[in-house]
Structure 1
């Protein structure tokens, strides 16, 4: 996919708008550029395993670095924590 080649990418299910907003917030606060993409549908056969409201954080090389198949109370905090852990 053309989404993955330079930056981490936040990939959400079709009802993951809160994750996209969290990605914008985290990118702005940290200065880390994040791609933001929503899948048009959620199908377990796709192999992404995030459901309709979940998220995957994909590394620039296309590997899934982190995922959460639900929407927590504070998605920005969860996403920022994942990035902090990944980037040390």
Structure 2
């Protein structure tokens, strides 16, 4: 009687052990980084103006621009000469 009860339990334990040791690491969901190291899946994009990864909605609020893809893209692509001081040249 004990063998009938233990056999399925041991079989299950063995299968769980084999599966856990398969050696293939799980792929991280949303872990793809762009060329600048930004995580687009988390809402980050590279902003040339600020030289950091930004979240578009946070950037739009901080820069007081409309939160549209076109506005954020235009804001990040423009480098105003006013932002660059003579010391940086």
Coarse TM-score class (shorter-chain normalised):
under 0.3
Q: Normalised by the size of structure 1, how large is the TM-score? A: 0.28
Who wins on radius of gyration, i.e. which is larger?
2
More strand as a share of residues: 1
User: Which protein, 1 or 2, shows the higher relative CO under an 8 Å CA cutoff with sep ≥ 6?
Assistant: 1
More helix as a share of residues: 2
